[in-house]
Every structure is written in structure tokens, then in C-alpha cells.
Amino acid sequence: MPTRQTSSSGRPKSPRIQVVLPEDLCERLSALAEEDSRTVSNMAKVLIQQGVERLERQRRAEPAAGPPAPAGTEGFRAELERQGQAQPKRLRGAPRRVRLQRPYR
């Protein structure tokens, strides 16, 4: 954690962090900040707060089931397995062959 500094008024300053963003994400963040009449720094703070709160709510709601499932196909499969829907239903008996009727000529 970064060291807290004190301002000229003697009050402690908030901790500061440095984040490196891809250019397209930085542009999107800047656009969002401008829409909300915020600074880019303040917009980043708000979005981080919202993301942290959402993640904490999710973790409180979920039972401890190990590490989070990966995104994409594996994440989808893991979620289905967690819900107990991953096993396909078995057909009773052997599959039947379907014979197509040929039209009479």
C-alpha cells in the first residue's frame, strides 16, 4: 500500500495508485467521465468502487465453491455443471432407425 502523505493543511492524503490502461479503454473512460462531468480520476474511482461492491456482494451471496469459473466456454460449462444441468438426459433403449418412405412412381 502506498505511503500516506500529509497535505499542507496537515490532513492525511488518500492513498494513490498507478494503473496502466490500454489506449482504447482510456478513451472509453475519458468519454464516460466527460458525459458525467467528472474528472477521469474521479470516474475511475467511482467505477472501481462499484465493481468492488458488486464483487463483494456476489461473493457473500455465493457459497465458497473454490476459485471463480473462467470466462467464455469454460465458464459457461462450469456454471451449467454447478447448476446440475451439464449431464445430458439419456434416451431409454437403443435409438431407432427412421426409414423414409419413397414416393410411388
Cell of 12: 492525511
pLDDT, residue 39, reads 94
Is 12 in contact with 20 (CB distance < 8 Å)?
no
In terms of pLDDT, which residue wins out, 14 or 91? 14
pTM to 2 decimal places? 0.52
Q: Considering only 18-27, 52-61, 91-100, which range has the smallest mean pLDDT?
A: 91-100
Residue 30 — very low, low, confident or very high, per pLDDT cuts 50/70/90?
very high
pLDDT, residue 50, reads 94
Residue 44 — very low, low, confident or very high, per pLDDT cuts 50/70/90?
very high
